[in-house]
Amino acid sequence: MIDTGIWPEHISFNDSEMAPVPSRWKGACEAVPQFHCNKKIIGTRAFWKGYDAIKGLQVDASLDEIKSPRDWHGHGTHTASIAAGSFVSIAKRPEAQVGCTEQPGLLLTKCWFHICTESDTTAAIDLAVANEVDVLSISFGLVGDRFSPPFDRDIVVIATFGAIQKGVFVSCSAGNSGPMESRGS
C-alpha cells in the first residue's frame, strides 16, 4: 500500500495466530524508534526526499510529518485495516470484523499527507515490485482541478504500468471527491 503510513499498534494489525512471514519476502521494516513490524505488517518504508525538495524544509521540522512510516493522519491505517486487517472481536457487525485478507504480508510505504511527489511515489512503486508484492494499493487521488498529464506522460502511471508488467495487481483510488467534482470517485 502507498498511503499516509500506518499505526502498527492498532488492533487490526495484531499478528497472533498469523502464519510466518512468506519465505519469498525480500523487504524489511524501516528501523525507526518506537515503530515495530510483525507477522501482519512485514515491511514499511517512508519516502520523503521528494517532499523535502518541494517543501524546501526538512520533514521533521514541519511538525506535521516525520521521517517514519508512522501514520499521523489515520488515512493509511484506515485503508490498510480494510485491505488486510486482522480479526477484531469487538466489531459490532460480523462482516466488519476482518479485512479482505487474513494472510501475512502487508508492506506499507508512506507518502505524505499534503504532498505526494512523483519521485516518492515512483520510488515506493519500485520498492513494492522489487519486493515481489502480489497486490499494490495506491490509496490517494487528485485534489480539485489539479493538472494530470496524459497517461503516456504521467510518471506515476508509467511506473504503475511497469508494476503490472511484472505481474503485480494494481488498485488505485478514483479520486477524493464525489461525482460533483470527479467522475468515478
Region 34-58: mean pLDDT is: 82
Average pLDDT in the chain? 78
Q: Please name the helix (run of DSSP H) or strand (run of DSSP E) that holds residue 42, with its range, or none.
A: strand 41-46
Q: Which of 137, 128, 124, 5 is nearest to 69 (CA)?
A: 5
Q: pLDDT category, 3, cuts 50, 70, 90?
A: confident
- Listed in sequence order, the residues at least 6 apart from 44 whose beta carbon sits closer than 8 Å to its beta carbon are 5, 6, 8, 29, 30, 35, 37, 69, 107, 108, 109, 110
Sheet holding 169-172, edge to edge: 41-46, 106-110, 2-3, 135-138, 169-172
Total-model pTM: 0.80
% of the chain surpassing 70 pLDDT: 71
Q: Which of 8-22, 153-167, 169-183 has the lowest mean pLDDT?
A: 169-183
Q: Please name the helix (run of DSSP H) or strand (run of DSSP E) that holds residue 110, with its range, or none.
A: strand 106-110
Judge whether residue 174 has pLDDT over 50: yes
- Tens digits of residue pLDDT in 114-152: 677 888 899 999 999 998 888 998 877 654 445 567 778
Region 5-13: mean pLDDT is: 89
Domains and CATH numbers, the chain: 2-172 (3.40.50.200)
Residue type, 128: A
